[in-house]
Amino acid sequence: MSETNNSIPLSRDVPEPEWLPEVLATPALTPADPPRMHTRPVSVGGVKIGGGAPVVVQSMCTTMTWDVAATMNQIQRLADAGCEVVRVAVPDDKSADALPEIVKRSPIPVVADIHFHYKLGLKALAAGVHKIRINPGNIGSEDKTREILAAARDRGVPIRVGANVGSLPKSIIAQYGSFGLILAMATWMVAMAGALVLSASVGALITQTPTWRTVAVRAGLPGATR
């Protein structure tokens, strides 16, 4: 096995490209990069995101959220390592029921990643989370999405609207076919299509609540860093 200077193993059957060391040594960001886009600032439990604020370090727990002891242990380790915002999965009522204790004990703001049912979003907001992440494509009807938006607005809690290939609306899946048969470029196109659909639907709802303006939209691909 041959290795690059960054200790990335390569198969002995594939010679290392001459340009690879130079590419790996190039910083991800350079002074020549275009300036960051101007965005409206959003406050997540007192941590400012966007609007020219420094980049915020966020990570996500890999624990079962209902296991409060394990989740808190991981959150504390993340905070000690410099993490500023932490996200936890909320796939069921058992996880949602653990949120009040987690929010109370967490040293950093907590984001609830809502899976599939709008009532989990409502429970997370009632628990006092500092931000929620939803995908209207799998939350359900527009009325259910609207109910989450209203509850978040009333509490002054920002929402991260996220779309990825694993959680697109059924209509998008039906239109573009099985993900297992789609090549990388087609997958990218599907993800973007889903993001546009949800952005338009959420945007239409937000325009009806002009006093509430704390929304972030994100689209992702399988394996992409979040």
Specify burial of residue 15 (Cβ count, 10 A radius: 0-12, 13-18, 19+).
exposed
Q: Is the pLDDT of residue 99 over 60?
A: yes
Q: Is the pLDDT of residue 188 over 80?
A: no
Residue (of 30, 27, 91, 104) closest to 61 by Cα position: 91
Given this model, what pLDDT does residue 3 score? 44
Distance CA 164, CA 129 (A): 23
For the chain, the average pLDDT equals 74
Residues 7 and 53 in one domain: no
Residues 12 and 118 in one domain: no
Residue (of 77, 81, 90, 87) closest to 109 by Cα position: 87
Q: Give residue 13's pLDDT band: very low, low, confident or very high (50, 70, 90).
A: low
CATH number for 48: 3.20.20.20
Domain assignment of residue 9, yes or no:
yes
Domain assignment of residue 136, yes or no:
yes
Q: Are 75 and 106 in contact (CB under 8 A)?
A: yes
Residues 29 and 12 in one domain: yes
Given this model, what pLDDT does residue 191 score? 52
* Mean pLDDT, residues 187-202 taken together: 52
Query: Domain span at residue 8?
Result: 1-33
Q: Is the pLDDT of residue 83 over 70?
A: yes
Residues 2 and 101 in one domain: no
Given this model, what pLDDT does residue 7 score? 46
Residues 182 and 140 in one domain: yes
Domain assignment of residue 66, yes or no:
yes
Beta-bridged to residue 162, according to DSSP, are 218
Given this model, what pLDDT does residue 179 score? 47
Residues 49 and 21 in one domain: no
Given this model, what pLDDT does residue 182 score? 45
Given this model, what pLDDT does residue 14 score? 53
Q: Is the pLDDT of residue 89 over 60?
A: yes
- Cβ atoms within 10 A of the Cβ of 70, count? 14
Given this model, what pLDDT does residue 215 score? 55
Q: Are 179 and 165 in contact (CB under 8 A)?
A: yes
Residues 59 and 9 in one domain: no
Domain assignment of residue 92, yes or no:
yes
Q: Give residue 100's pLDDT band: very low, low, confident or very high (50, 70, 90).
A: very high
- 109's CB contacts (< 8 A; 6+ apart) are 44, 45, 46, 47, 84, 85, 86, 130, 131
Residues 177 and 89 in one domain: yes
Residues 22 and 98 in one domain: no
Residue (of 118, 124, 157) closest to 136 by Cα position: 118
Between residues 147 and 66, the one the model is more confident about:
66
Given this model, what pLDDT does residue 29 score? 56
Given this model, what pLDDT does residue 1 score? 44
Domain assignment of residue 54, yes or no:
yes
117-170 per-position pLDDT tens digit: 899 999 999 999 999 998 776 776 778 888 888 899 899 999 888 766 555 556
Between residues 199 and 38, the one the model is more confident about:
38
Residues 176 and 209 in one domain: yes
Domain assignment of residue 225, yes or no:
no
Report the percent of the chain where pLDDT is more than 90. 37
Q: How many domains does the chain have?
A: 2
Tokens of 122: 């409502």
Residues 116 and 12 in one domain: no
Residues 69 and 6 in one domain: no
The two beta strands, 9-10 and 2-3, are: antiparallel
Specify burial of residue 111 (Cβ count, 10 A radius: 0-12, 13-18, 19+).
buried
Q: For helices 118-126 and 142-155, give the axis angle rounded to 10 degrees.
A: 10
Domain assignment of residue 226, yes or no:
no
Q: Name the amino acid, one letter, at 203.
A: G
Domain assignment of residue 210, yes or no:
yes
Three-state secondary structure readout of 84-116: CEEEEEECCHHHHHHHHHHHHHCCCCEEEEECC
Residue (of 210, 126, 133) closest to 164 by Cα position: 133
Report the percent of the chain where pLDDT is more than 70. 55
49 three-class SS:
strand
